[in-house]
Structure 1
Amino acid sequence: MDFRLTDDQRALRTGVRELLARRFDGPALRAAVDEGGLDRDLWRALGEAGFFALRLPEEAGGVGLGLPEAVLVFEEAGRALLPGPLIATHLAAGLVDGAAEGETVVTAPDGGLVEWLEEADVVLGDVTGAEPIRSADPLTPLHRLPGGGDGGPPERALLTAAEQLGSAGRTTAMAAQYAREREQFGQPIGAFQAVKHLCARMLVRTEVARAAVYAAAVTGDPVEIAGAKLLADEAAVRCARDCLQVHGGMGFTWEAEVHLHLKRAWLRRERWMATAPAQERLAAALEEAM
C-alpha cells in the first residue's frame, strides 16, 4: 500500500499552513496568550476555509474529504498552537447548526474535563456541576466535571494525536533552526555532537509518530489509533523538552514559544484517550492476539 501523500493532500496541507500563517502568526499567538478569549473572526475564517466541514459530504455543503485529510489539517493546527475546541466543533459539523461554517463554537466533555466551556455556544453532553480549574496551558481554559467521563469516539484521539504530531514537528524544526543560528566558541551549537544527537532523536520520534498517525488515519482501527496516540504524545512532550534544552535559558522565558508547546502537549496527553486508557487498549489487543 502506498502511504505517500497525493498532490491534492499536499496542496491541502500547504493551503492550511498558509492560512494559519496569515491569520494566526507569532504576534497573534502572543496576543491570544496575553488577552485570552476566543477569536470569533478567526473561527469564522476557519469555517469559510472548510476546516470544520472537511468531512461533510459535498451534497451537505461540506468538502467531502476523509479522515486522512482531517489528520493533515489538524496536524497543521497543532503546529500553529491554534486554540479553541477544534475537534468538538469539527465533529459537530452537520449535527449542530452553524458548526460547519464556524458560526457556532461547540465543546464537549472529555474524561471529566471540558475546554472552553464559557466561550462555547453549544455543549454536547451533561456539564452539570462543572467547576473552573487552572489549566497548565494558558490557551486552553478548563472546567472539571465532578463525575468524570469517557474520552469519546476513537477519531477524537486520532485528531488529538495529529495535533501532537504537528507540535512535535514544529519544536523539532525550531530546535534545528536555533542550533544552526546560535553560536558558542566561534561556531554554531549544532556542530556539537550532543546537540546533534538531541535533534536527531527529535526527528526520529516525530517521524515514527507520523507513520503511526497516518497509518491509523487510513485504517481507522481503534487499536492502531491508541498506539498512534501514545507515540504522538511521547513525541510532542519529549520533543518540546529537548527543544527547551537546545535553546538553553532562553527557552524557559515567557516570551519564547517553546514552553507553550510543552504545556499544550502535557494537556493533550491527558485528553481524548489519555495514556493509561490507550495502554490498556493496546494491552487488551495484544492479550487477545496471543
Structure 2
Amino acid sequence: MYSQAVEQIIDTLEEQLLTDWQLEQYAERIGYSKYYLTRTFKKETGLTIGAYIRRRRLAVAAFLLLHTEEIILDIALECQFQSQESFARAFKELYSMPPGKYRQMMRDLYMKEEKEMVQNEVKGWLLTGTNPALYTMKADYEVFHTGSKSGYLGVIQPAEEGQFGTMMQVFSAKNWLGKRMKMSCFIKTKDAMKCGAWCRIDTRNGDLLQFDNMDNRAIHGTTDWNYYSIVLDVVEESAAIHFGVLLVGSGEVWIDGIAFEEVDESVPSTNLSSSVEKLPLEPVNLGFDEL
C-alpha cells in the first residue's frame, strides 16, 4: 500500500511541477525532512524525486509539442530547462527522438488514429463490468502522466452506485509463480463516485486466490495524478492474473505508468480476499458453556 507521505509528496510535486523549487522547499511544504522524503519516495516508486520531476516536465513538454504551436525554446524554458539544447538532449533520451521530430510524427499518428479509432477498442484491453455499456475507454493523448498517452475510462450514460465499468487485461501467472508481485500505477480522476486500480489472481478453474480492488482506500472525487500500488502473492496453483482500473457509478479516471515487479516479504500484501488469518487455530466452546 502506498504511504501517506508519498501521496503528499506527489501532490506537492504536481502542484509545483513547473516552478523552480529546491528539495528543501518541497520538504518544508510537506512537513518531513528532505532525507526522509527522498528515501521513502525512492523506496516506494523506484524513482528519485529529481527523476520524477524531470519525467513529468518532459511529459508536459510532449503535451505542449502535440497540442500547441509554442516554439520549442519557449516550451524548454517553461518546463524549467536552461536551454533548448539541454531540453533536446533530455527529451531525446526519454522519447528516442528530438522534440521537432516528435511533434511532426506524433501529430501525424494522432490524426491517423483519430480517424481509424473504433469506440471502446484499445489493443490489449477489455471493457467489462456490471454495466459496460454505460462506460467508454480509450487511449488519451491529451491527459497523461508520462510517455504520450494514458488509459481513460469514463461514464457516457447515467450510472448509479453499484454499477461499474472496468478497463482490464489478463495474462498468465506462469512467470510469477512463487513470487510476491507488486502492481503500481499513477491514477488521476474527475468527479469519480468511487474508483481504483485492481488485481486478481485465479486458479486454472477460475477460483479466486488473491484479490485487491482498493476498496479500503478507494479514490473519490477529483484528484491529480498520484501513485498507487497493490501487492499480492502468486502462489503455485495460480494460473491467471487479471488487472485494471475500475469506476463505480459516475465520473472519469485515467491510468498511466502501470508496472509489475517482484518484491520481498518486507513489503506487506494488500490482499483483501483471505480470511484464513482471521480463523482461530483451534475449535472453541464445543460444550456451549460460554455465552
Q: How high is the TM-score relative to the length of structure 2? A: 0.22
Q: Report which of the two has the higher share of helix.
A: 1
Higher strand share: 2
Give 1 or 2 for the bigger CA radius of gyration.
2
Q: TM-score, normalised by structure 1?
A: 0.22
